[in-house]
Amino acid sequence: MANAIVVGAGVIGLATAWELSRRGWSVTICDPAPASQATRAAAGMLAPAAEVVWGQDALYPLMRDSAERYPEFVARIEARTGRPTGYLRNETLVVGLDSADRQTLDELAAQQTRFGMRAERINALQARRLEPALGRGVVGGVHLREDHQIDPRTLTSTLLEHLGERVRRARVVSLLEEGGTTVGVVLADGSRLRAEQIVLATGLAALPETAHLPLRPVYGDVARLRLADPARPLVDRTVRALVRGRPCYVVPRADGSLVLGATSREDARSGVSAEGIHQLLEDGRRVVPGILEADLEETMARARPGTPDDLPVVGRLDAGAVVSTGYFRHGILLAPLAAAVAADLVEGRGIDHDIQQAVDPGRFAGAPAATHHRSPRGSHA
């Protein structure tokens, strides 16, 4: 049986390991702290429509492709493991709090429609009919029926449980190379593992061999809230909002908890920002006032692995190694596509030309690492 090592057990590494083992590969996954980084913080919005923003035409087809793969991806995992993935096909509302927000949402809805998504503009009354808990300041918005969600913690714990002893809790410090080809990895304790193919899915963390990739941390603060009576959820849909141009969202989980997110900071502070959480609660309460009745269960900050053009970095490093990282705000959504593309590369199969062009690691050759990229307005996750 062919064997592979996947370095990194975030959503990307785990989905890739799952896909490879489904295709008959013997897979070892190395990570000292599986699913502890960006994946742990993520809200899990699967939002190909709401995440459409100007100037990201190459990203949109990837988001739509991956969203279409989701039902089969989770059905296979649930059938094979007998465990849940936390996938919910509930809808999304995007609402605005003043006329400028409303105008931005109208323009985005036009863009979403141009890309073939169902984006229905709704007024304040229609929005409140759908979600009676919306705040009085909501002036209207957009109803997106095809943007769903998954709980990344449920998904990754199911995959980790399934992969079991194939997960080695160890840090990879470098790659083993012979004659210019990667043939294995070196672990922090000095031991060496060999395999025919290595997939590097370490998110933001670079190995010496990937240090040239222009990844940058975009921190996000996020809060988890719990209502006293989980049988009576505040909202049935994910509610995303622009509050005076600032994005925020409330994602209702099946267990009655809520995810309130997220800030977007490039200030190199890895701790939870008090100002960030204050801003989320302040904006969130204007969108769904009832959140202030919930218990504040957890606050967290993690870095999204950003790239200069907001597109992932997936491709061959050499005949023995494939890199798959840079999923920025969309790694949960893009996981099924990422897994399929990395597995195709591992197996030496061709991948779709447009996808290959969009994610090619070579596109940054000679370009300076991005340090001052501005996040596009209207982007939330």
Site residues (CB under 6 A) for ligand FAD? 7-13, 30-31, 33-39, 41-45, 171-172, 201-203, 205, 207, 220, 222, 261-262, 302, 304-305, 325, 327-333, 381
If the CB atoms of residues 35 and 243 are measured against ligand FAD, the closer one turns out to be: 35
Close Cβ partners of 279 (under 8 Å, ≥ 6 residues apart): 246, 263
> Which residue type does 11 have?
V
Is residue 134 within 8 Å of residue 127, measured between CB atoms?
yes
If the CB atoms of residues 140 and 239 are measured against ligand FAD, the closer one turns out to be: 239
- Tell me how far, at minimum, the Cβ of 122 lies from ligand FAD, in Å: 22
Is residue 331 within 8 Å of residue 311, measured between CB atoms?
no
If the CB atoms of residues 140 and 203 are measured against ligand FAD, the closer one turns out to be: 203
- Tokens 């919910």 correspond to 88
* Alpha-carbon gap, residue 141 to 359, rounded angstroms: 32
- Tell me how far, at minimum, the Cβ of 34 lies from ligand FAD, in Å: 6
If the CB atoms of residues 208 and 362 are measured against ligand FAD, the closer one turns out to be: 208
Which parts of the chain fold into alpha helices (H)? 11-22, 38-41, 59-81, 99-114, 124-130, 152-163, 274-287, 331-346, 353-359
- Tell me how far, at minimum, the Cβ of 99 lies from ligand FAD, in Å: 27
Which parts of 185-311 fold into alpha helices (H)? 274-287
- Tell me how far, at minimum, the Cβ of 123 lies from ligand FAD, in Å: 27
Give the HSE-up count for residue 90: Cα atoms under 13 Å, Cβ half-sphere: 22
* Alpha-carbon gap, residue 13 to 149, rounded angstroms: 20
Close Cβ partners of 129 (under 8 Å, ≥ 6 residues apart): none
Q: Give the SS3 label for residue 292.
A: helix
If the CB atoms of residues 7 and 52 are measured against ligand FAD, the closer one turns out to be: 7
If the CB atoms of residues 16 and 102 are measured against ligand FAD, the closer one turns out to be: 16
- Pull the structure tokens for residue 215: 């990844």
- Tell me how far, at minimum, the Cβ of 313 lies from ligand FAD, in Å: 10
- Tell me how far, at minimum, the Cβ of 172 lies from ligand FAD, in Å: 4
If the CB atoms of residues 158 and 202 are measured against ligand FAD, the closer one turns out to be: 202
Q: Give the SS3 label for residue 356.
A: helix
Q: How many residues does the chain have?
A: 381
If the CB atoms of residues 86 and 261 are measured against ligand FAD, the closer one turns out to be: 261
Q: Give the closest residue to 266 by CA, choosing from 328, 318, 184, 178.
A: 328
- Tell me how far, at minimum, the Cβ of 319 lies from ligand FAD, in Å: 21
If the CB atoms of residues 216 and 329 are measured against ligand FAD, the closer one turns out to be: 329
- Tell me how far, at minimum, the Cβ of 14 lies from ligand FAD, in Å: 7
- Tell me how far, at minimum, the Cβ of 326 lies from ligand FAD, in Å: 8
Give the Cβ contact number of residue 42 at 10 Å.
30
Is residue 321 within 8 Å of residue 8, measured between CB atoms?
no
- Tell me how far, at minimum, the Cβ of 291 lies from ligand FAD, in Å: 17
Q: How far apart are the first and last CA of the chain?
A: 39
The number of helices, as runs of H, and strands, as runs of E, in the chain is 9, 20
If the CB atoms of residues 67 and 140 are measured against ligand FAD, the closer one turns out to be: 67
